[in-house]
Structure 1
Amino acid sequence: MKRIYAGNLPTDTTEKELTELFSTHGKVRSIKLAHDVFSGKCRGFGFIEMEGHEARAAIAGLNGKELRGNLLRVNEEKPRDDKKGGRPGARR
């Protein structure tokens, strides 16, 4: 199972729409869009889980594709850095 990052999504993107888009390359196991806490709109990115070979096909087929005026950035999820940001030396 591979986790795919999809970025530069329009703010009105829905999970259904993203599922339909990625389903053309294989079975979508799960989708999680990041939503703004206050507006409820998509924050412009999300994560999709697919099987390995299907995920690679989706990345190759959808990276750079236009979705309602936005060029999508689609790649394999990269591990997050453990640093949380903030001021140097600030207590946590």
Structure 2
Amino acid sequence: MNIFVAKLNFKTRKEDLQAAFEQFGEVSSAKIVLDRDTKRSKGFGFVEMPNDNEALQAIAALNEKELDGRVIVVKPANPKPANNY
């Protein structure tokens, strides 16, 4: 399951994000979205967990909890729209 994580501290690293979610199971990837020009965090990211049950537990446990001094928002990611050009 792909998980959207918002309101991240701009200093949070992908390793920090991954460690928070690994408490609930296997994490296949963690990514923090960076501004293309400044390379600074945009304050949100994505975590991929292969086991949906573990992902749902992580979402329930981490949503509106503090990570690196900020209260984060955690929810299932919306599917990426298809580019039909």
TM-score range, shorter chain: 0.7 to 0.9
Gaps of 5+ in 1: 83-92
Separation of aligned partners in 2, 1:69 and 1:41: 18
- Across the aligned residues of Structure 1 and Structure 2, the Cα RMSD in angstroms comes to 1.5
1:71 aligns with 2:71: yes
Separation of aligned partners in 2, 1:26 and 1:81: 28
Identical amino acids, percent of aligned pairs:
36
Separation of aligned partners in 2, 1:68 and 1:15: 12
Gaps of 5+ in 2: none
Q: Please name the residue that 1:52 is paired with.
A: 52
Q: Please name the residue that 1:17 is paired with.
A: 16
List structure 1 runs of 4+ shifted beyond 6 angstroms: none
What TM-score, normalized by structure 1, do the two folds share? 0.80
Residues 7-44 of structure 1: CA distance to partner in whole angstroms, max 9, x if unpaired?
Answer: 00011110111111110011101112101123322111
Q: How many pairs does the alignment contain?
A: 81
